[in-house]
Amino acid sequence: MLLYILLIGDLESMRFNKKYDFTLTANYLFVVYAFFISISMDITRDIFTLILILFFLSGNIKDKLLFAIKDKVVQAFLAFYIIHFIWMIGSQSIEVAQYKVSSLRYMLYIIIYITMIRSDFVYKILNGFLFGIFFNEIISYLMFIGIKIPFLPYQTTGFANVPFALSYTQYGVLLSISLGVMLYLILTYRQNIYMNILYGFFFVIS
Query: What string of pLDDT tens digits covers the 206 residues of the chain?
Result: 555 554 445 444 544 545 447 888 999 999 999 999 888 888 898 999 999 999 888 888 888 888 888 888 888 878 877 777 777 776 666 676 666 666 667 777 888 888 888 888 988 898 899 898 888 888 877 777 777 777 676 665 555 566 666 566 777 777 788 888 887 777 777 667 777 777 777 777 76
Distance CA 183, CA 97 (A): 39
Check: CB of residue 161 under 8 Å from CB of residue 143.
yes
pTM of the model: 0.74
Helix (H), strand (E) at residue 202: helix 193-205
